[in-house]
């Protein structure tokens, strides 16, 4: 398929190696042109957008728990705040942000050719907008709304870009790596005021400490 992509796509792309299906990455400015070619060109006919999702690559590949080697002190990390998983609302934390922090991933299927293609579009943290593909595949409507809701990705040209899963008054985007795992606000019913109120969350963030049982020799 790579030879066909090189022949018909009018824009540069990068090919990922050692993946389960053919995967390419393109620049966000070329999204609409590339998608229309892949859908309408008789060599591809990717008439189905199977999925569209987003990824936050900040702190990708890092782990708070590194237990490759046996140690008597390694689990002390379980009580030392080091990762974004422990932050609370308002905390200023370095999450090792990468140059292309976000990625929007498109999964395409050609029923006629029986082939699949994965397309990645990387986005910098200070430029998280890219064209909507709703005009190419109408099913992208809710996919893009979900990516906006959970990651804050802005799809220009989307007919109705609003939250899909969270409440209208929700603060932040919960699938970002710098979003507190305990959330920002909590909702409860006040019996005195006789109404639902929103207030700062009072849950202390914590990371569960795995228990390791070592047999005596």
- Give the DSSP H or E segment for 24: strand 23-25
Q: What is the mean pLDDT of residues 108-121?
A: 96
Phi, then psi, of 102 in degrees rounded to 5: -105, 155
**Could you give the CA distance from residue 16 to residue 14 in angstroms, rounded to a whole number?**
7
Q: Is the dihedral of CA 144, 149, 155, 160 positive or negative?
A: positive
Q: How confident is the model at residue 46 (pLDDT cuts 50, 70, 90)?
A: very high
Q: Which two tokens stand for residue 151?
A: 């990651």
Q: What is the mean pLDDT of residues 93-115?
A: 84
Q: What is the mean pLDDT of residues 184-188?
A: 79
**Could you give the CA distance from residue 207 to residue 85 in angstroms, rounded to a whole number?**
7
Q: Which residue ranges form the domains of the chain, and what is each CATH number?
A: 2-58+74-200 (3.30.460.80)
pLDDT at 178: 82
Higher pLDDT pick, 99 / 197: 197
Query: Are 25 and 143 in contact, with CB atoms under 8 Å apart?
Result: no
Higher pLDDT pick, 196 / 149: 149
Task: Sort strands 185-190 and 154-156 into parallel, antiparallel or unpaired.
Answer: unpaired
Rounded (5°) CA angle 10-20-27: 30
Q: How confident is the model at residue 37 (pLDDT cuts 50, 70, 90)?
A: very high
**Could you give the CA distance from residue 214 to residue 113 in angstroms, rounded to a whole number?**
54
């Amino acid at each position: 398929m790579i030879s066909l992509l090189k022949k018909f796509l009018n824009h540069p792309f990068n090919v990922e190696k050692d993946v389960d299906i053919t995967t390419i990455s393109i620049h966000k400015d070329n999204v609409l042109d590339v998608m229309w070619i892949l859908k309408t060109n008789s060599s591809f006919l990717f008439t189905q957008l199977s999925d569209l999702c987003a990824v936050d690559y900040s702190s990708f590949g890092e782990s708070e728990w590194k237990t490759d080697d046996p140690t008597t002190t390694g689990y002390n990390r379980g009580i030392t705040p080091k990762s974004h998983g422990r932050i609370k609302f308002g905390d200023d934390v370095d999450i090792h942000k990468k140059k292309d922090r976000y990625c929007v991933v498109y999964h395409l299927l050609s029923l006629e050719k029986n082939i699949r293609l994965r397309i990645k579009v990387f986005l910098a943290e200070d430029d998280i907008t890219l064209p909507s593909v709703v005009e190419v595949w109408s099913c992208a409507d809710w996919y893009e709304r979900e990516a906006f809701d959970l990651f804050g990705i802005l799809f220009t040209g989307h007919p109705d870009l609003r939250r899909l899963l969270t409440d209208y008054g929700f603060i932040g985007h919960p699938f970002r790596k710098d979003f507190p795992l305990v959330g920002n606000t909590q909702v409860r019913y006040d019996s005195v005021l006789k109404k639902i109120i929103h207030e700062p969350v009072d849950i202390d963030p914590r990371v569960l400490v795995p228990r390791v049982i070592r047999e005596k020799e």
